[in-house]
Amino acid sequence: MADSKKIKKIAVLTSGGDAPGMNAAIRAVVRKAIVDGISVTGIQKGYQGLLSEEFVEMGPRSVSDSVQKGGTILRTARSEEFKTDEGKKKAAGICRKNKFDAVVVIGGDGSYRGAQALSVEGIPVMCLPGTIDLDIACTDYTIGFDTAVNTALQAIDKVRDTSSSHERCSIIEVMGRNAGYIALWCGVASGAEDILIPENYNFDEQEIINHIIESRKSGKTHHLIINAEGIGHSTSMARRIEAATGMETRATILGYMQRGGSPTCKDRYYASMMGAMAADLLAKGTVNRVISYKNGEFVDFDIDEALAMKKEISTYQYEIAKALSK
Ligand code: ADP
């Protein structure tokens, strides 16, 4: 929806799970908006901080020394109160009282739904995809994914070395409660023998056991399984596999280390472009859009259309992963 109203003041928040590169996005929003004559308020701790009015005035210097840092300088939170009807109305009232002409939301799918709810309450919004999970339908890229997969991959390579030396089976659990992108990418890139993703829920443990036995026969000295958080149960799976195959089996759960750390060049660059684009659109009076990267270009979609889109992990790519593990 294009809105002709001149935007003079915006607010920016990060919400939901943090992702490396969120700071580069905040910095770009702030600096580009200020260049365009728009003032910026930072909302701390996502929608929760909006409801409790935890605001900080942002200037070019308040985002200094942040582009290389992981996490989010505005901090993030999850808010149950915001999800209620009263919460949404209260949040919209606070935006009006503070004369926020638009709110920039950097977060995942849940945060987008929160932004959509604010737009329904008459508060213009602009969304940026900030999630390590890559699970936002309208975009091929999300801020933080590249750093997260590279962080996970470094750890996986290390476990693979020791697993190979000891002729072990290793199950490494990576993040992704509902989405298997981190597991698929890390599995292919680390040369894993099996990749378990939530989208392919009905996996057969006996198939993995048979695969381990066959691989041993074909001369493989280790067996690496990348398991997504959404499947989980890595430790008990390790016990069952060891009992069934006789191969020493260990589980490693990578956990929160995948969220942290300095963002990669790609995450910093894309977050910077997307943040600046958000500010540019707002300066033109365009609101209720989500910034995306699609087919090699930075583009924007209407928020309602974006949230109606569906994304499925590529079965073809999953099959390739299997073929390469032989
Ligand atoms: P992410 O943005 O990383 O997917 P969440 O799903 O936890 O993270 O969402 C972050 C916050 O967005 C929630 O704590 C809540 O305040 C808000 N939110 C999520 N879903 C909705 C919804 N359907 N309506 C309104 N607000 C929502």
Residues 20 and 107 grouped into a single domain: yes
Q: Quick check: is 198 in a domain?
A: yes
Residues 138 and 272 grouped into a single domain: yes
Residues 196 and 177 grouped into a single domain: yes
| Nearest-angstrom CA–CA distance, 89 and 28 | 29
Which of 75, 76, 83 for mutating ligand 1's site (highest number of atoms within 8 Å of CB)?
A: 83
Q: How far apart are the first and last CA of the chain?
A: 50
Residue 100, helix vs strand vs coil: coil
Asked whether 172 and 226 are in contact (CB, 8 A), the reply is yes
pLDDT tens, position by position, 6-18: 999 999 999 999 9
Q: State the catalytic residues.
A: 133
Q: Which atom of ligand 1 is nearest to the CA of 133?
A: 3
Does residue 306 have a pLDDT over 80? yes
| Nearest-angstrom CA–CA distance, 160 and 169 | 9
CATH number at residue 241: 3.40.50.460
Q: Compute, in angstroms, the gap from residue 206 CA to the centroid of ligand 1.
A: 37
Alpha helices in the chain (DSSP H): 22-35, 46-51, 80-83, 85-97, 109-120, 145-165, 181-190, 205-217, 234-245, 265-283, 303-308, 315-324
CATH number at residue 34: 3.40.50.450
Per-residue tokens: 76:
């993030």
Ligand 1 binding site (Cβ under 6 Å of any ligand atom): 15-17, 47, 78-79, 82-83, 107-111, 113-114, 117, 131
The candidate with the shortest Cα–Cα distance to 271, out of 86, 118, 70, is 70
Residues 67 and 23 grouped into a single domain: yes
Which of 22, 48, 82, 135 for mutating ligand 1's site (highest number of atoms within 8 Å of CB)?
A: 82
Asked whether 321 and 197 are in contact (CB, 8 A), the reply is no
pLDDT tens, position by position, 45-88: 999 999 999 999 999 999 999 999 999 999 999 999 999 999 99
What number is the average pLDDT over the span 122-144?
98
Residues 161 and 231 grouped into a single domain: yes
The number of folded domains in the chain is 2
Q: The domain containing residue 51 runs over which residues?
A: 9-144+263-308
Residues 255 and 273 grouped into a single domain: no
- If pLDDT is split at 50, 70 and 90, which confidence band does 3 have? very low
Distance of CA 54 to the CA centre of its chain: 24
Query: Who wins on pLDDT, 166 or 5?
Result: 166
Residues 245 and 208 grouped into a single domain: yes
